[in-house]
A and B are shown apart, each in its own frame.
Chain A
Amino acid sequence: MGHYQWNWAIVFEQVAGTKEYYYQWLITGLGWTVATALCAWVLALVLGSLVGTLRTVPNKWLASLATCYVELFRNIPLIVQLFLWFYVLPEVLPKSAGFWMKQDMPMPEFITAAIGLGLFTSARVAEQVRTGIMALSSGQKNAGLALGFTLPQAYRYVILPMAFRIVIPPMTSEFMNVFKNSAVALAIGVTELTFQMRQITGEYAPGNPIEVMTIVSVIYLILAFSVNRLMALIERRTQVPGYISGGGK
């Protein structure tokens, strides 16, 4: 270790044999990380809210279907799920569709990763949403129904708005998780931040892995911190006077 030749300026050096610089690679990587995480998050919020709500409805069939969905996506490791979407799905589809997925689909790794990560995260979001709904007293739902709301209306105007406020704190950590989990996308070749780090510390600049890894780690810390602040802001903005958010506990 004493012979390690420190060179923090490595990121500002040009990549041998190209016109690019290492910091440009890292910025590209950050771009893909953010893009993958945000796309996955939007998908996870939509699907997760839907599935989470369905788990609380009186209809047994719908509820157990939603439960199956959650158990399926929660009990298989993310990386295996991505492999199923990326390596297995195109092979089990009809030949032409599989071929299209493999060669002609635009940005196949990115789209696969965003959808795969989105589905994985949606199961976790669904659990939070369900917990949020369950935490509300049944009085709220009944009050809504008594006011003449149909069940969907009661969900739409009474239950969900409150439930969403309750779940903001646990959602913060899920939102942070989606950024962290987006690193797994490198396994199917998304050129996100950790991928770029791997690429640089491989044969391009094998002499200075510590500097590159440190810089990448700091970027993730900044990302996590920003997400945390953003969610805190949202929590303050959406507070209902007289109702302590996170009151589910």
Chain B
Amino acid sequence: MRKILILSAALATAYMGSVQAEELTGTLQKVNESGIITIGHRESSIPFSYLDDKQKPVGYAMDLCNQVVAAVKKKLNKPSLVVKLVPVTSQTRTALMVNGTVDLECGSTTNSKERQKQVAFSDSYFVTSVRMLVRADSGIKSLDDLNGKPVVTTTGTTSDRYIKQNEQGHSIDVKNVYAKDHAESFLMVETGRAAAFVMDDVLLASLIANNKNPKDFAIVGPALSVEPYGIMMRKDDPQLKRLADETLSTLYKSGEVNKIYDKWFMKPIPPKNITINLPMSEKLKEAIKNPNDVGI
């Protein structure tokens, strides 16, 4: 009996390779002891992390995160590791990460220098550009065309500062108007109360895709800001960070990421089978070629 134990231990060590030699620290240690890993997900961050018609969190970020979870299972040799799913919002995600409620946040969180003071990020898995949504017949092509016009911002987001921040934007004067959520901001453009809605291109694309008349709208203008998204985790946790980065790198090198991207951005997605139709941007291709977690 004892022999078998020793043998299996030896086999396990051999199977898991040299990494196993190091002692577990941080989140991996915690997960190893509790047998539970907690994923923070969003409820309506389409197509990154949202609830499908069966109230199950799915999305591009969730697919990538599940790969990281698989790597964790493998590393800890715990195939039956319990994966707990906790919904987070843009308001609670940082706090719930810092206080240990969630171990990985898989949503659409910008890797910013500001946030890096509190939390850490994996290598970027998406790069969003802030651009503007206008009515296709409005003739608006660039920032200059917005001079004197109302521009809508969703309350609680930071997009009202992008125009001011942009070099071309300094010389123009826009009227800021505000709406409660993205859908309402979109309605402001649709009903002509706002000339433009400045937001992440991916959000704009999915709003257009959801509309009855997608042809009436266009995403125009230069990128006012470029923001990389990363999987959020706790600071000073090198083991988990390395595991996440390695997992993403593998997906990037093998080209597997392209399939996952197409699944969520170029094909019909649940719950309503709409297609966002946002081809991979140059910025994202660059981030996949040279994985990094620089942040903005």
Determine which of B93, B94, B193 lies in contact with A102 in the assembled complex, contact meaning CB atoms within 8 Å: B193
**In residues 90-120 of chain B, which contact A (Cβ within 8 Å)?**
90-91, 93-95, 98-100, 114, 118
A127 at the interface (CB under 8 A from B): no
B2 at the interface (CB under 8 A from A): no
Shortest A129–chain B CB gap in Å is 35
Shortest B236–chain A CB gap in Å is 14
**Surface stretch bound by B, among A62-70, A114-122, A165-173, A201-209:** A201-209
- A191 surroundings in chain B (CB, below 8 A): 178
Please determine whether A3 and B99 come into contact, CB atoms closer than 8 angstroms.
Answer: yes
Closest to A206 in B: B91
- B157 surroundings in chain A (CB, below 8 A): 202-203
A90 to B98, CA, bound (A): 47
- A96 surroundings in chain B (CB, below 8 A): none
Please determine whether B99 and A203 come into contact, CB atoms closer than 8 angstroms.
Answer: no
Please determine whether B100 and A3 come into contact, CB atoms closer than 8 angstroms.
Answer: yes
Closest to A187 in B: B180
Shortest B61–chain A CB gap in Å is 18
Could you list 29 A-B pairs, sorted by A, with CB under 8 Å? A2-B99, A3-B95, A3-B98, A4-B95, A5-B118, A17-B161, A17-B165, A18-B164, A99-B192, A102-B191, A103-B192, A108-B177, A109-B177, A189-B155, A189-B179, A191-B178, A199-B155, A199-B156, A202-B90, A202-B91, A202-B155, A202-B156, A202-B158, A203-B157, A206-B90, A207-B94, A207-B95, A207-B118, A209-B91
A198 at the interface (CB under 8 A from B): yes
- State whether A186 and B118 are in contact (beta carbons under 8 Å apart), knowing that A17-B161, A206-B94 are contacts in the complex: no
B291 at the interface (CB under 8 A from A): no
Determine which of A2, A16, A18, A195 lies in contact with B178 in the assembled complex, contact meaning CB atoms within 8 Å: A195
Please determine whether A203 and B155 come into contact, CB atoms closer than 8 angstroms.
Answer: no
Q: A3-B95, A202-B156, A206-B91 are in contact. List 15 more A-B contacts (CB 8 A).
A: A1-B99, A4-B95, A5-B98, A15-B161, A17-B158, A18-B161, A18-B165, A90-B191, A102-B192, A108-B177, A109-B177, A189-B179, A199-B156, A202-B155, A206-B93
A186 to B193, CA, bound (A): 16
- State whether A91 and B191 are in contact (beta carbons under 8 Å apart), knowing that A3-B95, A191-B178, A201-B91 are contacts in the complex: yes
Shortest A209–chain B CB gap in Å is 7
- B179 surroundings in chain A (CB, below 8 A): 189
- B195 surroundings in chain A (CB, below 8 A): 103
A181 to B227, CA, bound (A): 38
**In residues 109-163 of chain B, which contact A (Cβ within 8 Å)?**
114, 118, 149-150, 155-158, 161
Please determine whether A189 and B177 come into contact, CB atoms closer than 8 angstroms.
Answer: yes
| Number of chain B residues close to chain A: CB under 8 A | 27
- State whether A204 and B91 are in contact (beta carbons under 8 Å apart), knowing that A99-B192, A103-B192, A109-B177 are contacts in the complex: no
Please determine whether A103 and B193 come into contact, CB atoms closer than 8 angstroms.
Answer: yes
Question: Closest 5 A-B residue pairs measured CB to CB?
Answer: A202-B156, A189-B178, A3-B99, A102-B193, A203-B158
Interface mask (B1-22 → A, CB under 8 Å = 1, otherwise 0): 0000000000000000000000
Shortest A14–chain B CB gap in Å is 12
Interface-centre pick from A90, A91, A103 (highest chain B CB count, 10 A): A103
Shortest A199–chain B CB gap in Å is 6
Interface mask (B69-102 → A, CB under 8 Å = 1, otherwise 0): 0000000000000000000001101110011100
- A109 surroundings in chain B (CB, below 8 A): 177-178
- A189 surroundings in chain B (CB, below 8 A): 155, 177-179
Shortest B219–chain A CB gap in Å is 21
- A187 surroundings in chain B (CB, below 8 A): 180
- A18 surroundings in chain B (CB, below 8 A): 161, 164-165
**In residues 57-95 of chain A, which contact B (Cβ within 8 Å)?**
87, 90-91
Please determine whether A203 and B100 come into contact, CB atoms closer than 8 angstroms.
Answer: no
A201 to B195, CA, bound (A): 27
Closest to B160 in A: A199
Please determine whether B100 and A103 come into contact, CB atoms closer than 8 angstroms.
Answer: no
Shortest B145–chain A CB gap in Å is 14
A198 to B181, CA, bound (A): 12
A217 to B177, CA, bound (A): 25
Shortest B187–chain A CB gap in Å is 8
